[in-house]
Amino acid sequence: MTDTGKSSEPPRPAERRAGSRRLSPAERARLARVFGDELPSTTKDERTPEPESGRSSDDWLRSQVPPHHG
């Protein structure tokens, strides 16, 4: 058998991207609307904590139980 230089392995992500076309600004905007940002601009530990609601998660769970299961 001779090696033809072709591999049966799928192309690596970087190789796939190298052959892909560039997106227009309109396409990028559409993808951003559909999928959102890839990463948020801040992380949870950088944001101001949201105030506690005063209810425990058990209270929420109990409020979700249908009347016939009460």
Q: Is residue 51 part of a domain?
A: yes
Domain that holds residue 44: 14-63
Q: Is residue 25 part of a domain?
A: yes
0.85 exceeded by pTM:
no
52, HSE (Cβ side, Cα atoms, 13 Å):
4
Confidence of residue 69 (pLDDT cuts 50, 70, 90): confident
CA–CA distance, 15 with 12 (Å, rounded to integer): 5
Question: What would the pLDDT profile of 3-55 be if each residue is shown by its tens digit?
Answer: 555 667 766 665 555 556 788 989 888 888 888 867 677 888 888 887 776 67
Closest to 32 measured CA to CA, from 24, 42, 21: 24
CA–CA distance, 38 with 57 (Å, rounded to integer): 30
The total domain count for the chain is 1
Tell me how far CA of residue 52 lies from CA of 27, 29, 38, in angstroms: 40, 35, 28
Q: What is the pLDDT of residue 18?
A: 53
